[in-house]
Structure 1
Amino acid sequence: MAQIMYQPTWLNTKITANHQPSPATNASAINSPVTNIPAINLPAIKQWSAIKLFYRQHMPYARLAQKESVAVIHHLSSSTIDGTDEVDISQQKIIAAIRVKPIGQYQLINGLLVHPDYRGQQLSTQLLKFIAPQLITKNCFLFAHPWLIDLYQQLHFIVIDQHDLSAIPADIIQLYRRYHSEQRPLVLMQLNEPDK
């Protein structure tokens, strides 16, 4: 039986398939040996389709946008990464993902999701540590489920008290109020300096 290996990577969201050339561009391309028609990035399209399917199956209310950065963990067997076979990430099963969404000059972490069969294996922590170098301290926020507060606190996020909301950017507060409800209570958290 092959050993299970986990490898976080950034998902390639630079997809050009939706940028189809205009009919005028096509006509000129017939007479011109050099064109500026964007190439279709099939591996990126496959990755994007796989991540959308992953969220649709396990977090159906999530809405992905291509402007987000998405980090994923694939289920890779050791036989795939032992150097004898070339790894095709787009063909591997996604087992965990997290999204970093730009909100003006701020960042919002959302959509932390681990496949039910792989929970309890520290994959959330692994993903959070993987994306940490890309996060902007003091400008990074998340809306945590109450049972995940301890996880985020271990990674230098602090709970924002309801009395301190006036110090939080309006764009973040507006989103927080949209997603937070009595039926789905969320806790606003902000990335703090690691030494504080």
Structure 2
Amino acid sequence: MSLQLAVAVEPLWFPLVKKFYQAFYPSGKPNKAEPLWVIKEGANILCAVRLKPLDQCLFLTGLVTHPQYRNQGIAGQLLRSISKQLAQQPSYCFNTPELIPFYRRHGFIEATDEARLPSELRSRLQRYRIKQPSLIAMKYHKKTPM
């Protein structure tokens, strides 16, 4: 399958993206006010991600690939496609340990000094760790060659 670049979600597509999240990542809950990016093939969404703007940074969240298209490099293609947006301001994500190698390959590094995280991210991480104690904060560092 030839991959397309990610496209920003237009308002017309929002209901389809919302259904995509409901089907494959119910806790993802997209918001019309947040930038959403997808890779699609025709009318089918293959992969989606949210870039939640916070006061001091961007928070990458809700990266999900349709189950039929997993392990084909589509999520990586999506991250490469939005690298310009990620590089424009400090950008972060939270991950479980098994996802760290994937995010490292796509320009993220572990934020080892959590005290230096923007305050709204630090408080969010503390809340999320109540249910997922192993979450690790990562910061977009630079685009890495593949």
Residues 12-161 of structure 1 correspond to what in structure 2 (within 5 A)?
12-13=10-11, 44=12, 47-76=13-42, 92-136=43-87, 139-161=90-112
- Which residue does the alignment assign to 2:123? 174
Secondary structure of the equivalent of 1:61? helix
1:26 paired residue number: none
Aligned to 2:48, the other structure's residue is in SS state strand
Is the partner of 2:26 in helix, strand or coil?
coil
Query: Following TM superposition, by how much is the alpha carbon of 1:148 offset from its aligned partner in structure 2, in angstroms?
Result: 1.4
Distance between the aligned counterparts of 2:24 and 2:133, measured in 1?
16
CA–CA distance in structure 2, aligned partners of residues 73 and 60 of structure 1: 19
Q: What does the per-residue CA deviation read over 1:74-111, in whole Å, with 9 as the maximum and x for residues that have no partner?
A: 123xxxxxxxxxxxxxxx01111011110013100000
> CA offsets per residue over residues 144-169 of structure 1, 9 Å max, x none?
122111111112211122xx111111
TM (normalized to structure 1)?
0.67
SS in 1 for 2:138: strand
Corresponding residue of 1:189: 138
Q: Which runs of 5+ in 2 are unaligned?
A: none
What letter is aligned with 2:36?
Answer: V
- What TM-score do you get using the length of structure 2 for normalisation? 0.88
User: Larger C-alpha radius of gyration, 1 or 2?
Assistant: 1
SS at match of 1:104: coil
Residue aligned with 1:68, SS: coil
Q: 1:137 to 1:154 in 2, by over 3 A?
A: farther
SS of equivalent residue, structure 1 residue 56 = helix
The code of the aligned residue for 2:85 comes to Q
Query: C-alpha distance in 2, partners of 1:184/1:54?
Result: 27
Contact 1:97 1:111 (8 Å CA) reproduced: yes
Deviation for aligned residue 1:121: 0.5
Give the partner amino acid of 1:104: D
The unaligned stretches of length 5 or more in structure 1 are: 14-43, 77-91
Q: 1:9 aligns with which of 7, 10, 16?
A: 7
The superposition leaves residues 106-148 of structure 1 with CA deviations (integer Å, 9 ceiling, x where unpaired) of 1000000001111010001100000101113661100012211
**Count of matched residue pairs:** 143
The structure-2 alpha-carbon separation of the partners of 1:60 and 1:152, relative to structure 1 and needing over 3 Å to count, comes to same
What is the Cα-based RMSD across aligned positions, in Å? 1.9
Give the residue type in structure 2 aligned to 1:186: L
Contact 1:180 1:186 survives alignment (8 Å): yes
Q: Percent identity?
A: 29
